[in-house]
Amino acid sequence: MSKGRQLKDRIAERGLVQVMAGHSPLSARLAAEAGFDGIWASGFELSALHGLPDVSLVTMTQHLETMRAMVEASGLPVVADIDTGFGNAINVIHAIEQYERAGAAAVVIEDKSFPKVTSLIAGGRQDLLRVEEFQGKIEAACATRRDPDFLVIARCEALIAGLGEAEALARSAAYEEAGADMILIHSKQKTPDEVESYVRAWRGKVPIVVVPTAYPEFTVERMKALGKIAVAIWGNHAIRAAVTAMQRVFRQILDEGGIRGADRDIVSVEEIFRLQGMDRVKQDEKRFLR
């Protein structure tokens, strides 16, 4: 069974699936162990991991290889955040070939111009493509995939750009017409009102994907009540949690002049060994090393 089929089956079974962001194979494995339905191979998180701004600086090769490792480490469907598709429709064709071959369940392509600027930054440039040009990207993606269960998700940034609900709905309808399997709608408002209004007004046949980073009170219960949302992506909590923990422990070690206090509050080395699969290594060494 392909990962795209696996993700579709989970949606059919549960109605709404929860997808956790990741930036590394380890974070993907932890998300799988926690019980999430899938992994979001986040461009924002990978940019942060490299200490770079999320403005199309991470290359396709960097993102693709990290995503491939996340697929292998987690066993879950991975939704690849490929930003604007690394260029125009021709670049999208190449990207789809590579990401499908690498085991992605889905890709998300956004309707911004290249290079993009991260969506939630205050005062950031949020230029959108012409609708027809982005339709060409979606059509190129759909025509290129070999597995019909490989999902092409169109990310509409009209609300992020301040263009309003009517523009967001019109663009989303055009993207569905171009073949998108789902529409990801994004907002930087501090409450879910804008997105909830959009979802209620949506008359398309394809389901909605949401990333409620800016409005954390948008709970799974509220999403299910709307009846049109298939995927909730928790978009950047893995990298934020990692930074929070590292900042705290690093300060503690310097403040206390040693690691004794910090050592009590973090996982053991044995837990890291477990996550690395060292028990399997020991078994294989015993069996095969002669």
Q: Which residues form the catalytic set?
A: 54
Give the residue carrying structure tokens 């999902």: 151
Q: CB within 8 A of 42, min separation 6: which ones?
A: 21, 22, 23, 81, 235, 236, 238, 239
Cα–Cα nearest to 17, from 241, 150, 209: 209
Burial of 99 (0-12, 13-18, 19+ CB in 10 A): buried
Give the residue carrying structure tokens 């899938």: 38
Burial of 35 (0-12, 13-18, 19+ CB in 10 A): exposed
Q: E-strand spans in the chain?
A: 17-22, 38-41, 78-81, 106-110, 151-156, 182-185, 208-210, 229-234
Question: What one-character DSSP code corresponds to residue 34?
Answer: H
Q: CB within 8 A of 202, min separation 6: which ones?
A: 169, 172, 183, 208, 228
Backbone dihedral angles phi then psi of residue 110, each to the nearest 5 degrees? -105, 155
